[in-house]
Amino acid sequence: MAGIASPARRDVATARTAAILVGGLAAIAAALRLIEPGRVAWIQAALIVFGGLVIQALPFVLIGALASAAIEVFVPPTALDRLADLPRALQLPAAGLAGIAFPICECGSVPVARRLMAKGLLPSAAITFMLAAPVLNPVVIASTFVAYRGRSALWTMVIGRFSLGLVVAILVGWVLGGRSKAELLRPSGHHEKHEHVELGRPEPRWRTFFVHMGNDFLFMGRFLLLGATVAALVQTFMPQGIVSRVAGVPILDIVVMMGLAAVLSLCSESDAFIAASFVQFGPAAQLAFLVFGPMVDFKLGALYAGTFGKATLRTIVISVGAATLVGALWVKVLTG
């Protein structure tokens, strides 16, 4: 997975963030127990929601980290190059469906898309793959199934996420059309990523695999803890009348869930458990959360800004937002 910071610094940041989140919840609980014992039940409820979300989602974060590390270490860099040999008319749908075979999270899909452009793949097809892979990959679909099992909206969420994610990714690629790589990407130079090459004996693959897996697990786990904390606090402390009023307003409910997905910046392996906890919102709004978040959020914004030009960045954000909103509205119409 591509990170903004170096692995060593990222390890420190993720561990510190996790400690702050968990420590903060413990401190609030202790303070309320001393100052206002009557509110202890609220804290207990929040901790139960928080713990339940983390316990359900953590295995999928681990599986996602394993898959991402395996691709990074064992899959040859040329594995996706054959997409460039397909007829241009087939490159967009084929690139989107390639996300099924390559379970790459949203952070890892950005540098892969840039490399595919360099290898000759139609730039719009490379962006289609970048947007589709975090939504269509099997780990994400499996986590969505587990998060919604036992609910009447199970297949609406599973099939809807896969279908809408693929359609949105292809539409964004179509909007970008025949723009060249030079038009889409930032100019190379001092913005280009430089890899540090060490002389001497190469590291064993097994060691590289576990280093990547550990880094990815800590990186994704940080956002899971953040999302679970916010979801627990909203579900416990925000007056349910306010939540219900927002959730009951057509269009606004979808926009609110899309905005929440962008702010939380969850990894797609765990976001279904957070979305499913917002039971006040209907399937269409939750589906918008699950499609928009892995394509546009705050952490991706930094990666996009460092990879694409400003016009491309605006086009991606606006196109993903508009396509997700319209698609979610159709889901609402079709499902009643």
CA dihedral 29, 30, 31, 33 (to 10 degrees): 80
**Distances 211 to 65, 68, 217, 268, 295 between C-alpha atoms, Å:** 11, 12, 10, 21, 26
Instruction: Render pLDDT for 308-320 as a digit per residue (tens, 0 to 9).
Output: 888 889 999 999 9
> Where exactly are the structural domains of the chain?
7-186+206-335
Output phi, psi for 308, to 5 deg: -110, 160
The DSSP code for 209 is H
Q: What is the enclosing helix (H) or strand (E) of 216?
A: helix 205-237
| Model pLDDT for residues 155-198, shown as the tens digit of each residue | 999 999 999 999 999 999 999 887 778 888 776 544 444 444 44
φ, ψ (nearest 5 deg) of residue 73? -95, -40
pLDDT value of residue 300: 80
Task: Give the pLDDT band (50/70/90) at residue 9.
Answer: very low
pLDDT in tens, 49-104: 677 767 766 776 677 677 667 766 776 766 666 777 788 778 899 989 988 877 67
- Pull the structure tokens for residue 309: 């030009």
Q: What are the respective helix, strand and coil percentages of the chain, to the nearest 5?
A: 75, 0, 25
pLDDT band for 323, please (50, 70, 90 cuts): very high
For the stretch 200-204, contacts whose Cβ atoms lie closer than 8 Å and that sit 24 or more positions apart, written own/partner, are none
Cα–Cα distance for residue pair 127/116, rounded to 1 Å: 9
CA distance 221 to 78: 30
